Amino acid sequence: MSHLHLYLIRHGLAAEHGSYANDDERPLTEEGRQKTRQVAKQLRQLGLQFNLMLTSPLVRARQTADILQKEHLAARLEESALLAGGVDIRLWLEWLTQWQRTDPACLALVGHEPDLSAWAEILLWGEASDRLILKKAGVIGLQLPDRGDPIGNSQLFWLTPPRFLL
């Protein structure tokens, strides 16, 4: 079994907090859509191709994932409540164990802060410590081990703010 490459991608720039009665419904702004499209094009030019892109069902994350999908970055796109925010990483790791049996190699998660950077820190160092900052439309790339617990045993290979992809 080969190592899993995991890409954590934060949603693009969205409407201000409080601008919608239901925060889950906040969409990307026009600027957010434009920048996310530019980031998607650059990721494609860099040769990224995900076996699966898993996205939060919240509007801003789903819109980000749709933009990435239109750039042909993923073979498949699925929504997961595990990425909606506030979910324990161990629940996602249970899902990952099942998925790796059928579709290993390269996975992208499109979601929210502070969860994505906290999950990266847990996978890298075993605990969340607020050392990593994932900007909107930014990318963290991790290599997870092919055996054993990935918590505290993964490696960082990519931390890119969107400005480097615009």
Distance, in Å, from the CA atom of 20 to the CA atom of 119, rounded to the nearest integer, reads 27
**Regarding the domain delimited by 4-164, which CATH topology (the fold level of the hierarchy) does it fall under?**
Rossmann fold (3.40.50)
Domain boundary assignment for the chain: 4-164
Here the contacts of 84-90 (C-beta below 8 Å, separation 24 or greater) are 84/24, 84/56, 84/57, 84/58, 84/111, 84/112, 85/56, 85/58, 85/111, 85/112, 85/115, 86/115, 87/115, 89/118, 89/119, 89/122, 89/123, 89/151
pLDDT tens string for the chain (166 positions)? 468 999 999 999 999 988 888 989 999 999 999 999 999 999 999 999 999 999 999 999 999 999 999 999 998 999 999 999 999 999 999 999 888 777 668 999 999 999 999 999 999 999 999 999 999 999 999 999 988 899 999 999 999 999 998 8
pLDDT digits 0-9 by tens, 136-153: 999 999 999 988 899 999
**pLDDT score at 1:** 45
pTM for this predicted structure? 0.95
pLDDT, one tens digit per residue, over 79-108 is: 999 999 999 999 999 999 888 777 668 999
User: What integer pLDDT is reported at residue 90 of this predicted model?
Assistant: 96
